[in-house]
A = this chain, B = another copy of it.
């Protein structure tokens, strides 16, 4: 009667208790030594469960995005809200909006949005970036990167890549925020955006991504190539915490 492994029984029990509200969001689970004792009833002779087994159970919950850990503090329950990003319409494409597109989009949804650490750099295009922008391998690109917070919590990391000839002479190359929005700035310099192609993938986070997002859960990656009538003008790669984000697309079948 193939019984489940111990670490899965522990994980299943903790998951059930968390979802039932026994450990509300933000609270700490019992410490690992305490859990060793708590689950001693699972041992035929009532001996305590070994620490590695407890840790294997906690690791599952961490990958599911249910809990996270802090060295020296403990394991705590993560907030379970999910934020839906409507991706089938580019915010700020229509001119004259006057505010930063991301902040505007989120304000509509009733959230507190914030951008941090805006940085600009000039780099050699990686093969992926060159392919997306249809550039020669090794061409120079301008990269603008930013960290985004939602209601004070880390939420996504974004990098936008512009072909050097396009960014040159625009505000995109300066390390400051573009008040009227980057799409409008491109339009003013003759690169009006008319369409884009998204590719959505998912994967485990890098160590840097996990550190910023405060999560070991998988990430949702949105790769967006925007183009004018003539050519690709921008590649934007956005990495979202997968446990709290969904991407939405509205599509009409028969135009």
Using a CB–CB cutoff of 8 Å, the interface residues on chain A facing chain B are 52, 60, 63-65, 82, 84, 87-90, 93-94, 193-204, 217-220, 242-243, 245-255
A242 pairs with B201, CB closer than 8 A: yes
| Chain B min CB distance to A226 (Å) | 8
Q: List the number of copies, as a whole number.
A: 2
Residue from A65, A89, A250, A251 having most chain B Cβ neighbours under 10 A: A251
A64 pairs with B243, CB closer than 8 A: no
Residues of B within 8 Å of A93, CB to CB, are 253-254
- In the complex, 17 of the A-B residue pairs with CB atoms within 8 angstroms, ordered by the A residue number, are A64-B203, A84-B199, A87-B249, A89-B253, A90-B253, A93-B253, A195-B251, A195-B253, A198-B251, A199-B246, A200-B200, A200-B247, A200-B248, A200-B249, A201-B246, A202-B220, A202-B242
Contact partner of A194 (CB less than 8 A), chosen from B84, B201, B252, is B252
> A250 with B195: in contact, given A203-B65, A242-B201 (CB under 8 Å)?
yes
| Chain B min CB distance to A73 (Å) | 20
Contact partner of A243 (CB less than 8 A), chosen from B87, B203, B248, B255, is B203
> A251 with B88: in contact, given A218-B218, A218-B242, A242-B218 (CB under 8 Å)?
yes
Q: Given the complex of chains A and B, what is the CA–CA distance between A243 and B203 in angstroms?
A: 7
Nearest-CB residue, chain B, relative to A64? B204
Residues of B within 8 Å of A199, CB to CB, are 84, 246-248
Q: Given the complex of chains A and B, what is the CA–CA distance between A197 and B247 in angstroms?
A: 10
Residues of B within 8 Å of A245, CB to CB, are 201
Nearest-CB residue, chain B, relative to A243? B203
